[in-house]
Structure 1
Amino acid sequence: MKQAAGITRSVSSLWLVLLLLIATAGRAQPGAKPAVPSIPTASATGTDTTRLVPQVTQNGVRFLFRERGTGPLAQPGRRVAVRYTGFLPDGHIFDASEAAGRALRFRVGRGEVIPGWDELLPLLPEGSRVRAWIPAALAYGAAGVRDPDDDSRFVIPPDTELLFELQILSVR
């Protein structure tokens, strides 16, 4: 019986060490850049999101459902409200709807947002949350986005792929 108790303690200790390693593995070191999830390279186009399989649109927008909504699809011409955070490849946030204090509202497919969003949104039902990787050509391309306060700098450098966390709040 003592031997079984010792084994149980050893296994419990190993689990505790493993959990501690997992918990500390993602922590940034002092001076490190913020972490951003890596961009998937799989070209899976299936719809099975229970296995977190990235999907790819016709023009190369990669996306992963974090939660699939059950509402209507954001078809072209429909009004949507979207909560978002945009990341550069190095993990820095370049824009977020929280900064404006409200969701972004626009019509899908009318060129009111970057082409990558217009391509992606018709695939997302209301209530969906996705992580999306937008190729540079479907974002701001070779022009990038200049800093409005300093024309010699860029908020989004030319030819930069962007990562977004998106939530479709409403479709009308």
Structure 2
Amino acid sequence: MATGLLAAAGARAQDGGAKPAVPTTPSAPVAGSDTVRLVPQRTPNGVRYVFHERGTGALPHAGSRVAVRYTGFLPDGHVFDATVAWGAPLRFRVGRHEVIAGWDELLPQLPVGSRVRAWIPAALAYGAKGVRHPDDDTRFLIPPDTELVFELQVLGVR
């Protein structure tokens, strides 16, 4: 869905790697895994996230160009968007309002290589407007005032 996280900006680079399977529900961390951090984190404006794997690479900052792979879920587990459908990661600049505000707040906390599950409050996603279905203006892809859940992996930063 090009109208989702990247409304007007649309730089999607090609990725020659294999396409991973689209998760159908948010994944649960594997208990006992050395790479899983089950301690929930919270940003100042209420984005909650849990590390599946904490990366060791550079931290993005305002203006950084990042590449991420993600799957977005509604609270009921329905997938509304996924980079695997495009065959390439999403590329954008942090802090430039190219993505939802919750992502701009979250990304500076995630070193390259990190995989997280994140809960974005509605106010930092699409708020009271939601996102209408492109083919049927009477329906919503993302209903108004909906918290979103993301499985997110930071692939690169420059």
TM-score for the superposition, normalised by structure 2: 0.78
Alignment partner of 2:61 out of 51, 54, 75: 75
Equivalent residue for 1:26? none
Structure 2: stretches of 5+ with no match in the other structure: 1-23, 29-34
SS state of the match for residue 70, structure 1? Answer: coil
SS state of the match for residue 52, structure 1? Answer: strand
Equivalent residue for 1:124? 110
The 2-side partners of 1:55 and 1:113 are apart by 21
The 2-side partners of 1:165 and 1:69 are apart by 15
Deviation at 1:35, TM superposition (A): 5.3
Equivalent residue for 1:6? none
Report 1:1-150 matches (<5 A): 36=26, 52-150=38-136
Q: Is the 8 A contact 2:119 2:147 kept in 1?
A: yes
Deviating 4+ runs (over 6 angstroms): none
Deviation at 1:53, TM superposition (A): 1.0
Q: Is the 8 A contact 1:88 1:163 kept in 2?
A: yes
The 1-side partners of 2:157 and 2:26 are apart by 29
Deviation at 1:62, TM superposition (A): 0.1
Percent of aligned pairs with the same residue? 74
Q: Is the 8 A contact 2:113 2:153 kept in 1?
A: yes
Cα 1:99–1:70, aligned 2, differ >3 Å: closer, same or farther? same
- 1:117 corresponds to which letter in structure 2? W
- 1:99 corresponds to which letter in structure 2? A
Structure 1: stretches of 5+ with no match in the other structure: 1-33, 39-48
Deviation at 1:50, TM superposition (A): 5.7
Larger helix proportion of the pair: 1
* Structure whose CA Rg is larger: 1
Q: Choose between structure 1 and 2 for higher RCO, CA contacts under 8 A separated by at least 6 residues.
A: 2
Q: Is the 8 A contact 2:25 2:73 kept in 1?
A: no
- 1:162 corresponds to which letter in structure 2? L
The CA RMSD over aligned residues, in Å, is 1.6
Q: Is the 8 A contact 1:130 1:167 kept in 2?
A: yes
Aligned residues: 129
